[in-house]
Amino acid sequence: MADRYLSFTGTAPGRFLTRRLGLPQPAPLKRWSPERAGSPGDRLLLTAGKSDLQLTDLGLDLTASSEKPAALLLDATGVRDVETLAEVHAALHPAVRSVAESGRVVVLGAPLDPTDHHQAAAQQALEGLTRSLGKEIGRGRTVNLVRLTDARAAESTLRFLLSPKSAYVSGQVIEVGAYDESGAPADPDRPLTGRTALITGGARGIGEAVAETLARDGARVVVLDVPQAEQDARRVADRLGGIALALDITAPDAGERIAAALPDGLDVLIHNAGITRDRLLVNMPAERWSSVLDVNLASVLRTTDALLESGTLRQGGRIVATASIAGLAGNAGQTNYGASKAGIVGLVRSLAPRALAEHGVTLNAVAPGFIETKMTAAIPLFIREAGRRMNSLAQGGLPIDVAETTAWLAHPASGAVNGQVVRVCGQSLLGA
């Protein structure tokens, strides 16, 4: 399962040979660790156009000059026409080269104005710039765009995108809504303290990493998995000081059984359980179709409805569902899986505004690309190798990358992030 090519290109002969042959040059990504938590490095703030954003109050440690910034934040919210886009070029052109390895570029844009097509054209242009720069910047660096109107609402999002926690998130456009002051956690280092988080499929793979990360952030975790995986679920739960729940999420009364197991309520619901049963559609029996649709989509709809309606998911709650780039781009042999994961996107877009208005709960999706797990280890060698390299970072992601993205969406201060589908795919070429 280990990425031997990445290790090889990390050596001097490996670098020499792969450069000569014109092969991908993945850079080892610098991910978050407790040791790295304290020193983010210089974060350079640049501006294009006339901005009204109040970024300086956020305590993000931004500077106006730096020779080798770890991150570059470009405030382009004031760009209202094509002429002012020249200021975007003028700001980035001299600075991009100096951004450190595994550094971050975050562009701030404004929502598109439906009454001003010049502003909309210029702001949409930032999206093309972001995605193109992400593809050319290299050396483990990422580029993302955040559309916002109030900087305070975007604080948790900016902290995430500027940090090593977002190592495998690139080429994304994230919309941040209105500010809600109720979200500031008492302990910024353990923002989920006092909150209960349930992770479906938490016994292994991405779900296990999500459980670990939410526990790190202070949550009491409930690790749900099928009865056959109960031992593994218990092992994970015991290690994290949480509880295990042996339950097949496709049981018609799964939502009611979760509610009964959690009489004190739930704050964070992570729909992570998922299966694949690949076959070309022409060879696919109805059972393979329906089992994937049931685990990956129908059970997500059923449990979400049950836990919202019963009030088990409390005010201020967070739901994160798991889509996939296969649901955005399609994938041969995965009509069932692609349909189920596209269905997650439909669910999120439709329900998110109502879940927030009626229950005070946000609903977002993560869409992983190629993540190194048992699921992807089972892919035949050559397809697996292609899947790993076909993204701007030229490598697969790790379960922790999806987990960190989930933790940002689950953060109490992320209440203004709703209805978003965030790809954790190293800017995969599939469906981009």
Ligand X SMILES: NC(=O)c1ccc[n+]([C@@H]2O[C@H](COP(=O)([O-])OP(=O)(O)OC[C@H]3O[C@@H](n4cnc5c(N)ncnc54)[C@H](O)[C@@H]3O)[C@@H](O)[C@H]2O)c1
The verdict on 291 binding ligand X (CB under 6 A) reads no
Least separation, in Å, of the C-beta of 242 and ligand X? 15
Asked about 168 being catalytic, the answer comes back as: no
Q: Evaluate whether 226 touches 246 at the Cβ level (below 8 Å).
A: yes
What CA dihedral angle connects 343, 376, 405 and 321, to 10 degrees? 20
- Min dist CB 155 to ligand X, Å, is 28
For tokens 């993945």, name the residue: 26
Smallest gap from residue 71 Cβ to ligand X (A): 27
C-alpha 205/C-alpha 55 separation (Å) is: 37
Shortest separation between residue 192's beta carbon and ligand X, angstroms: 20
> Taking the complex as a whole, how short is the minimal distance between the CB of residue 289 and ligand X, in angstroms?
16
The pairing of beta strand 220-225 with beta strand 71-78: unpaired
Q: From 425, 405, 409, select the one nearest 325 (Cα to Cα).
A: 425
The residue from 370, 405, 410, 416 that contacts ligand X (CB under 6 A) is 370
Among 207, 317, 338, 419, binds ligand X (CB under 6 A): 207
- Name the one range near ligand X by CB under 6 A: 18-26, 56-64, 90-98, 247-255: 247-255
Burial class of residue 282 (count of CB atoms within 10 Å of its CB; 0-12, 13-18, 19+)? exposed
Identity of the residue, 18 or 250, whose beta carbon is nearer to ligand X in the bound complex = 250
Distance in Å, CB of 104 to ligand X, minimum: 23
Strand partners, 424: 368
Torsion, CA 327, CA 331, CA 332, CA 338, rounded to 10: -10
Residues 208-227 interacting with ligand X (rule: CB under 6 A): 225-226
Question: What is the full DSSP assignment across 276-294?
Answer: -----GGG--HHHHHHHHI
Q: Which of 119, 157, 200, 406 binds ligand X (CB under 6 A)?
A: 200
Stretch that binds ligand X, among 103-111, 126-134, 234-242, 273-281 (CB under 6 A): 273-281
408 binds ligand X (CB under 6 A): no
When binding is defined by CB under 6 A, the residue of 275, 298, 301, 329 that contacts ligand X is: 275
Among 162, 273, 306, 403, which residue interacts with ligand X (rule: CB under 6 A)? 273
**Which stretches of 39-113 are DSSP H helices?**
85-95
Q: Tell me if 363 contacts ligand X by CB under 6 A.
A: no
Whole-angstrom CA distances from 42 to 73, 133, 157, 163, 421 are 11, 21, 18, 11, 29
Distance CA 377, CA 383 (A): 11
Output the smallest distance, CB 281 to ligand X, in A: 19
Sole binder of ligand X in the list 62, 222, 249, 270 (CB under 6 A): 249
Of 170, 324, 362, 428, the one binding ligand X (CB under 6 A) is: 324
Q: Which residue among 69, 255, 274, 415 contacts ligand X (CB under 6 A)? A: 274
Q: Applying CB under 6 A, does 87 fall inside the site for ligand X? A: no
Q: Which of 5, 168, 179, 337 is catalytic?
A: 337
CA 174 to chain centre: 10
Q: Which stretch binds ligand X (CB under 6 A): 75-83, 255-263, 302-310, 373-381?
A: 373-381
Nearest Cα to Cα of residue 320 among 192, 158, 194: 192
- Gap between the Cα atoms of 187 and 152, Å rounded: 18
**Active-site residues: which are they?**
337
Contact residues toward ligand X (CB under 6 A) are 200-201, 203-207, 225-226, 229, 248-250, 272-275, 295, 322, 324, 368, 370-371, 373-376
